[in-house]
């Protein structure tokens, strides 16, 4: 008889029974509510074994690609090893290979981690300062392009982790990190689909990985990247992004400042306002939002009203704390 394996324990799966039924009948604590595949409360991840396509219906493509499924809709044909969401966030050891200033507040940190395995450009990892303190940082690197994992870390006033990274961490040091997490990454499912990427501050990090990953996969649709800061000295990687736009006719890069008069190719205004001024109809666009949670929340609503579908919007906005 096939089994469902969870937390090192096996649960017998009867004919016509769902994963959720088998686990709850066996006494496993699995959150659930509607049991009809709508609320997604019973979301789980398949680690080994095959899951039917019906059990992933309604999930974002990024979740499907990572093996997530709805336990209440899953009737596997054989043994399946599963885990709860977030269980993949175990600690790995990484070595600091480079620390490079990007502007006065942000440094690029390159990490070598032989145990990382596969990751997607735009995901994030947790960096542990010690046994109890950690912060989440998006990956600016792209697999197949960059030799190491790369983070963009902005120094926050009195930040326990960002201050440690800026002031204490050195090349050659070993740090603990998590497995890659998050759903804000590119999937090559529709190479003609137009892409809109909006970021502020160090929110450029995942967008820099996503845009290069999309191009590596041969994305042919238009790509618009808007990166904003209050002042021009808060922008970074401008030379690299201008070069990317020159090399690829499909790419348009818009550096934006909101609190000073622009010069050169800089534009005055907030990224959301400028994007909506340029692109008034967003039906069919895929959107990536990265930066301050307030910006992400506001942009999501305004872009939806401009025609963008919620299922085509991707964001991993972190709750701000003393970073």
Q: Do 116 and 170 reside in the same domain of the chain?
A: yes
Q: Do 241 and 280 reside in the same domain of the chain?
A: yes
How many domains would you assign to the chain?
A: 3
% residues pLDDT > 70 (the chain)? 96
Least Cα distance to 120 among 149, 86, 88 occurs for 149
Q: Do 38 and 107 reside in the same domain of the chain?
A: no
In the prediction, which pLDDT does 87 show? 53
Q: Do 10 and 62 reside in the same domain of the chain?
A: yes
pLDDT score of 316 more than 80: no
pLDDT score of 318 more than 60: no
Q: How far apart are CA 246 and CA 228, in angstroms?
A: 20
Two tokens, residue 317: 């906005």
Beta bridge partners of 138: 124
Which CATH number does the domain housing residue 26 bear?
3.10.20.30
Q: Please, which residues have CB within 8 angstroms of residue 273's CB and are 6 or more apart in sequence?
A: none
Q: Do 18 and 63 reside in the same domain of the chain?
A: yes
Domain limit, last residue, from 83, 110, 127: 83
In the prediction, which pLDDT does 320 show? 47
In a domain, 64, yes or no: yes
Q: Please, which residues have CB within 8 angstroms of residue 114's CB and are 6 or more apart in sequence?
A: none
pLDDT score of 139 more than 50: yes
pLDDT score of 105 more than 80: yes
Q: Do 104 and 168 reside in the same domain of the chain?
A: yes
Q: Do 212 and 306 reside in the same domain of the chain?
A: yes
In the prediction, which pLDDT does 280 show? 86
In the prediction, which pLDDT does 178 show? 85
Q: Do 131 and 202 reside in the same domain of the chain?
A: no
Domain limit, last residue, from 83, 115, 138: 83
> For 291-313, what is each residue's pLDDT tens digit?
888 899 999 999 999 999 999 99
> For 217-255, what is each residue's pLDDT tens digit?
999 999 999 999 999 999 999 999 999 999 999 999 999
Domain limit, last residue, from 83, 113, 138: 83
Which CATH number does the domain housing residue 241 bear?
3.40.50.80
pLDDT score of 88 more than 70: no
Lowest-confidence region among 78-87, 110-119, 148-157? 78-87
Lowest-confidence region among 60-64, 120-124, 267-271? 60-64
Residue 173 sits in which domain range? 91-178
In the prediction, which pLDDT does 322 show? 43
Look over the chain and give the mean of its residue pLDDT values, rounded to a whole number.
92
In a domain, 262, yes or no: yes
User: What's the pTM value of the predicted model, to 2 decimals?
Assistant: 0.77
Q: How far apart are CA 113 and CA 164, in angstroms?
A: 20
Query: Beta-carbon neighbour count of residue 77 at 10 Å?
Result: 11
In a domain, 185, yes or no: no
Per DSSP bridges, beta strands 286-290 and 195-200 are parallel
Which CATH number does the domain housing residue 150 bear?
2.40.30.10
In the prediction, which pLDDT does 323 show? 55
Q: Do 199 and 306 reside in the same domain of the chain?
A: yes
Q: Do 304 and 223 reside in the same domain of the chain?
A: yes
Q: What are phi and psi of 237, to 5 degrees?
A: 55, 25
In the prediction, which pLDDT does 271 show? 97
In the prediction, which pLDDT does 136 show? 87
> For 195-216, what is each residue's pLDDT tens digit?
999 999 999 999 999 999 999 9
Size (the chain), residues: 323
In a domain, 189, yes or no: no
In the prediction, which pLDDT does 179 show? 82
Burial of 242 (0-12, 13-18, 19+ CB in 10 A): middle
């Amino acid at each position: 008889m096939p089994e469902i394996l969870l937390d090192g324990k096996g649960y017998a799966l009867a004919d016509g029974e769902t994963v959720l039924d088998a686990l709850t009948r066996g006494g496993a604590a699995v959150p659930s509510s509607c049991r009809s595949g709508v609320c997604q409360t019973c979301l789980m991840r398949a680690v080994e074994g095959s899951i039917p396509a019906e059990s992933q219906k309604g999930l974002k493509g990024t979740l499907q690609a990572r093996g997530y499924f709805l336990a209440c809709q899953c009737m596997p044909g054989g043994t399946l090893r599963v885990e709860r969401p977030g269980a993949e966030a175990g600690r790995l050891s990484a070595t600091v290979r480079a620390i490079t200033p990007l502007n006065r507040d942000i440094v690029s940190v390159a990490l070598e981690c032989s145990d990382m395995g596969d990751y997607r450009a735009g995901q994030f990892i947790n960096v542990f300062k010690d046994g109890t303190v950690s912060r989440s940082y998006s990956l600016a690197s792209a697999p197949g392009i960059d030799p190491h994992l790369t983070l963009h870390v902005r120094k926050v006033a009195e930040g326990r982790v960002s201050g440690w990274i800026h002031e204490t961490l050195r090349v050659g040091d070993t740090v603990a990190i998590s497995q890659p997490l998050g759903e804000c990454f590119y999937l090559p499912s529709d190479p003609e689909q137009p892409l809109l990427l909006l970021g502020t501050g160090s929110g450029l990090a995942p967008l820099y990985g996503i845009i290069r990953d999309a191009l590596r996969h041969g994305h042919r649709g238009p790509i618009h990247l808007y990166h904003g800061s209050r002042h021009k000295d808060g922008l970074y990687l401008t030379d690299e992004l201008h070069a990317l736009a020159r090399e690829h006719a499909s790419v348009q890069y818009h550096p934006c400042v909101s609190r000073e008069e622009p010069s050169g190719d800089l534009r005055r205004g907030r990224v959301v306002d400028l994007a909506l001024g340029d692109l008034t109809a967003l039906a069919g666009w895929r959107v990536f939002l990265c930066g301050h949670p307030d910006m992400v929340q506001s942009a999501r609503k305004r872009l939806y009203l401009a025609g963008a579908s919620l299922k085509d919007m991707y964001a991993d906005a972190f709750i701000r704390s003393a970073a």
